[in-house]
């Protein structure tokens, strides 16, 4: 809307940073952003964090890509959209003709809208003919989704932020919630302070939520599965489980209980370093609470056993009856603003939109009818497998949207050397990222304020964003670019708006069947699954679990050692994560003056003990070397870390200080999510200061 008599325009949008999905109005005058005003967001009400409030001037950054670029020798030259699109289509056709459709790969973006992720997977499957399609949830929360699929059948948060607020006990595992999901953290802090909510935090680092916790657990790195299983075994053995819930709503109890045999209190304590008394205290907190919520994030998932630990969380909630009612359940906190939606709308190698399984012929036949084409039937490659396939020569072309994969994937030397081997590399972004340097064609995209569409937040909540600004220069919304490439490949698509794309997706994908733009008007929202009558699902599993029997499945587990541990040479364990001010590597937040001036660079947190041992002060410069590479960073002494555990935030714009110059290619066994959190290094002091 426009304010009467002025050129000020107010536009409802959804935050483009984290998965909390705060919505608000942005006030603009021309291209100038005057302010962000939260008023009526279904998740955030009147709250935002510093990024949502002040992190928008990247929109007008001089570094925005404003015209398509095409490789010219060692550099790039500006080109027209027509030339860029026809070059891409010609090379895609040639590569498909020579090596088959599976020689091409597609990676959608969690920064894009649902409609754009839907189109990207449709381009891969229905136009090119490959299931090589993925998105960046592969780097973060795929293991959480796997843990939930195994046990309760739906890979989303069990309820809403209001359920987290209402729980009697919140357990936060491997999540720096106050910095990574600030508005959710505020709700927990309020309930904890004012409503008697109990709080248990398990982490390596004593961050803000750990400081506030009633119990802070500091397990040895990579051993969360063990303490979770030990506590679960103690609860079951001592008849503290919810027997009625187990009898009526859960299957596979016997096999599961047998798998808990190794996790007696003594062994659990020895492996995790948590005392037996504390384990019992945690068990008692859980069984005496009125509703238990467990929130978790990358500290759980980015391990070689990330899916298994996520499964152990869900097993514990099942044993104690904490599903299928308000104020309890599982809450994997999604990272990017639309990482949930990118997966929901089918940018995954083995799932069609709505998590419909590619392995089910009925599903594939339905989508073939919908799109009027034959579809490829075998699961495609995920991000991690695509990098290996480029190295082995079987993947020759990659179309990558909005992902600085050359900086954020693990073991970046391995990833960047793969990019150099591609015969066609198309990068679509708003900035000339590290990854774009390796591209053959760079396409300038429009960020969220310059387009329409929907995002889905961590609560499965679909919300609309409206266009506040015209696309800068010749940049275009991603859905228009994907449509152009599809049509240049013969798709004959006639989408006139994101609404038409959503209408198509909701006609076919069962969990979105009642989704319409009308029902999402303004600050209205819908939490999937949405029934044909338009009713949505704020709390899952009220009528049973998503398995044919309607019962949840306990899932037996075993503990596997982390893929990399410290030894005499690589004697420091590195943990990593976000900062409040910067979003991930900082591609957008470093372009926002107010934010980058507060936190200009990255740093290494070291414990006071380690600082004393190595003669370090604040500002000392050290080199960390892993088995893959080295980085140079300055030191910040902090009692948030202990002993030989150090913390390196991921905000870095260069290989020189990027955490992923150090990380390995080890992955979660079930999902190929990189084991970013399993990293041992040695330290050399370059300047003691």
Which residues, other chains included, contact 19 with Cβ-Cβ below 8 Å and sequence gap of 6+? 181, 333, 334, 335, 336, 337, 339, 340, 457, 458
Q: What is the DSSP string of 399-453?
A: EEES--HHHHSSSHHHHHHHHTT-SEEEEEESB--TGGGG-SEEEEB--GGGS-E
Q: Which stretch binds ligand SF4 (CB under 6 A): 20-28, 138-146, 203-211, 440-448?
A: 20-28
Nearer to ligand SF4, 22 or 250 (CB): 22
Q: Which residue number is nearest to ligand SF4 in terms of Cβ?
A: 52
Nearest CA-CA partner of 454 in 531, 526, 399, 352 = 526
Rounded distance, CA 322 to CA 315, Å? Answer: 10
Nearer to ligand SF4, 124 or 188 (CB): 188
Are the C-beta atoms of 458 and 334 separated by less than 8 Å? yes
Q: Which stretch binds ligand SF4 (CB under 6 A): 45-53, 298-306, 471-479, 666-674?
A: 45-53
Q: Contact with ligand SF4 (CB under 6 A): which of 183, 274, 390, 485?
A: 183
Q: Quickly count: other Cβ atoms within 10 Å of residue 377's Cβ.
A: 10
Nearer to ligand SF4, 23 or 506 (CB): 23
Nearer to ligand SF4, 370 or 463 (CB): 463
Contact pattern for ligand SF4 over residues 346 through 385, marking x by CB under 6 A: ----------------------------------------
Indicate the pairing of strand 461-465 with strand 453-456. antiparallel
Q: Contact with ligand SF4 (CB under 6 A): which of 12, 21, 331, 604?
A: 21
Does position 18 bind ligand SF4 by CB under 6 A? yes
Closest distance of CB 20 from ligand SF4, Å: 4
Closest distance of CB 575 from ligand SF4, Å: 21
Does position 230 bind ligand SF4 by CB under 6 A? no
Tell which positions 288-327 bind ligand SF4, by CB under 6 A: none
Distance of CA 234 to the CA centre of its chain: 33
Tell which positions 49-78 bind ligand SF4, by CB under 6 A: 49, 51-52
Q: Contact with ligand SF4 (CB under 6 A): which of 155, 182, 332, 341?
A: 182
Nearer to ligand SF4, 338 or 416 (CB): 338
Nearest CA-CA partner of 9 in 454, 26, 103, 225 = 26
Q: Which residue has the tokens 């859980």?
A: 286
Distance of CA 364 to the CA centre of its chain: 27
Indicate the pairing of strand 169-173 with strand 198-202. parallel
45 forms beta bridges with 41
Nearer to ligand SF4, 249 or 578 (CB): 578
Give the gyration radius of the chain's Cα atoms. Answer: 24
Does position 410 bind ligand SF4 by CB under 6 A? no
Nearer to ligand SF4, 15 or 646 (CB): 15
Does position 174 bind ligand SF4 by CB under 6 A? no
Does position 387 bind ligand SF4 by CB under 6 A? no
Does position 22 bind ligand SF4 by CB under 6 A? yes
Closest distance of CB 596 from ligand SF4, Å: 16
Does position 17 bind ligand SF4 by CB under 6 A? yes
Distinct helix (H) and strand (E) counts, the chain: 24, 28
Closest distance of CB 677 from ligand SF4, Å: 22
Please name the residue ranges forming H helices in 537-679: 593-598, 608-614
Closest distance of CB 463 from ligand SF4, Å: 11
Does position 161 bind ligand SF4 by CB under 6 A? no
Are the C-beta atoms of 633 and 589 separated by less than 8 Å? no
Nearer to ligand SF4, 321 or 335 (CB): 335
Does position 402 bind ligand SF4 by CB under 6 A? no
Nearest CA-CA partner of 215 in 277, 302, 303, 293 = 277
E strands along 460-595, which residues? 461-465, 525-527, 552-553, 572-577
Does position 15 bind ligand SF4 by CB under 6 A? yes
Does position 335 bind ligand SF4 by CB under 6 A? no
Nearer to ligand SF4, 49 or 204 (CB): 49
State the number of binding residues for ligand SF4 (CB under 6 A). 13
Helix axes 81-99, 478-488, angle to 10 degrees: 50
Closest distance of CB 19 from ligand SF4, Å: 7
Q: Which secondary-structure segment (H or E) carries 636?
A: strand 630-637
Q: Is 289 helix (H, G, I), strand (E, B) or coil?
A: coil
Nearer to ligand SF4, 43 or 652 (CB): 43
Does position 48 bind ligand SF4 by CB under 6 A? yes
Binding footprint of ligand SF4 on the chain (CB under 6 A): 15, 17-18, 20-22, 44, 48-49, 51-52, 182-183
């Amino acid at each position: 809307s426009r304010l009467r008599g002025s050129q000020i325009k107010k536009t409802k949008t959804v935050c483009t940073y984290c998965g909390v999905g705060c919505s608000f109005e942005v006030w603009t005058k021309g291209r100038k952003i005057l302010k962000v005003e939260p008023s009526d967001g279904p998740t955030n009400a009147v709250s935002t964090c510093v990024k949502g409030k002040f992190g928008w001037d990247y929109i007008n950054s001089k570094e925005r890509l404003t015209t398509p670029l095409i490789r010219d020798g060692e550099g790039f030259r500006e080109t027209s959209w027509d030339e860029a699109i026809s070059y891409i289509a010609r090379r895609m056709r040639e590569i498909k003709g020579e090596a088959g459709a599976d020689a091409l790969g597609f990676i959608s973006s969690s920064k894009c809208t649902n409609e754009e992720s839907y189109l990207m997977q449709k381009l891969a499957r229905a136009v090119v003919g490959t299931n090589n399609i993925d998105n960046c949830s592969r780097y973060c929360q795929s293991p959480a989704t796997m843990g939930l699929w195994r046990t309760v059948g739906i890979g989303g948060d069990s309820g809403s932020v209001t359920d987290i607020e209402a729980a009697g006990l919140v357990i936060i595992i491997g999540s720096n919630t106050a910095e990574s999901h600030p508005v959710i953290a505020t709700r927990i802090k309020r309930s904890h302070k004012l409503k008697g909510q109990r709080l248990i935090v398990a982490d390596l680092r004593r961050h803000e939520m750990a400081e506030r916790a009633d119990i802070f657990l500091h397990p040895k790195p990579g051993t969360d599965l063990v303490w979770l299983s030990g506590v679960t075994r103690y609860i079951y053995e001592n008849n503290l489980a919810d027997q009625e819930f187990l009898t009526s709503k859960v299957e596979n109890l016997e096999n599961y209980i047998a798998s808990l045999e190794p996790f007696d209190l003594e062994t659990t304590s020895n492996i995790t370093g948590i005392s037996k008394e504390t384990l019992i205290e945690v068990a008692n907190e859980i069984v005496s609470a009125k509703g238990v919520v467990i929130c978790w994030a990358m500290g759980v998932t980015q391990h070689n056993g990330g899916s298994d630990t996520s499964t152990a969380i869900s097993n514990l909630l099942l044993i104690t009856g904490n599903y299928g009612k308000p104020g309890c359940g599982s809450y994997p906190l999604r990272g990017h603003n639309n990482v949930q939606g990118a997966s929901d709308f089918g940018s995954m190698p083995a799932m069609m939109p709505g998590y419909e399984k590619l392995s089910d012929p009925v599903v594939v036949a339905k989508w073939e009818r919908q799109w009027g084409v034959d579809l490829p039937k075998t699961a495609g490659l995920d991000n991690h497998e695509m990098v290996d396939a480029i190295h082995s020569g079987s993947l020759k072309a990659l179309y990558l949207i909005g992902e600085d994969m050359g900086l954020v994937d693990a073991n970046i030397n391995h990833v960047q050397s793969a990019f150099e081997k591609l015969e066609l590399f198309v990068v679509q972004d708003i900035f000339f990222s590290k990854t774009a340097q390796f591209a053959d064609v760079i396409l300038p995209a429009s960020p969220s304020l310059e387009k329409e569409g929907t995002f889905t937040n961590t609560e499965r909540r679909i919300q609309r964003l409206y266009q506040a600004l015209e696309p800068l220069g010749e940049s275009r919304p991603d859905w228009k670019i994907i449509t152009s490439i599809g049509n240049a490949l013969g798709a004959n698509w006639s989408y006139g708006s994101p609404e038409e794309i959503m209408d198509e997706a909701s006609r076919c994908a069962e969990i979105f069947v009642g989704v319409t733009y009308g029902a999402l008007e303004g600050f209205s929202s819908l939490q999937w699954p949405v029934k044909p009558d338009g009713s949505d699902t704020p709390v899952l599993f009220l009528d049973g679990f998503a398995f044919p029997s309607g019962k949840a499945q306990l899932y037996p587990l075993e503990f596997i050692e982390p893929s990399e541990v410290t030894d005499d040479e690589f004697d420091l364990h590195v943990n990593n994560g976000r900062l409040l001010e910067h979003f991930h590597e900082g591609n957008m937040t470093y372009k926002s003056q107010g934010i980058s001036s507060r936190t200009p660079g990255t740093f290494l947190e070291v414990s006071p003990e380690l600082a004393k041992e190595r003669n370090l002060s604040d500002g000392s410069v050290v080199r960390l070397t892993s088995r893959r590479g080295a980085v140079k960073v300055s030191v910040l002494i902090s009692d948030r870390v202990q002993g030989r555990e150090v913390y390196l935030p991921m905000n870095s714009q260069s290989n020189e200080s990027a955490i992923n110059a150090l990380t390995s290619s080890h992955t979660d066994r079930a999902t190929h999510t990189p084991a970013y959190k399993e990293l041992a290094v040695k330290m050399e002091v370059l300047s003691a200061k």
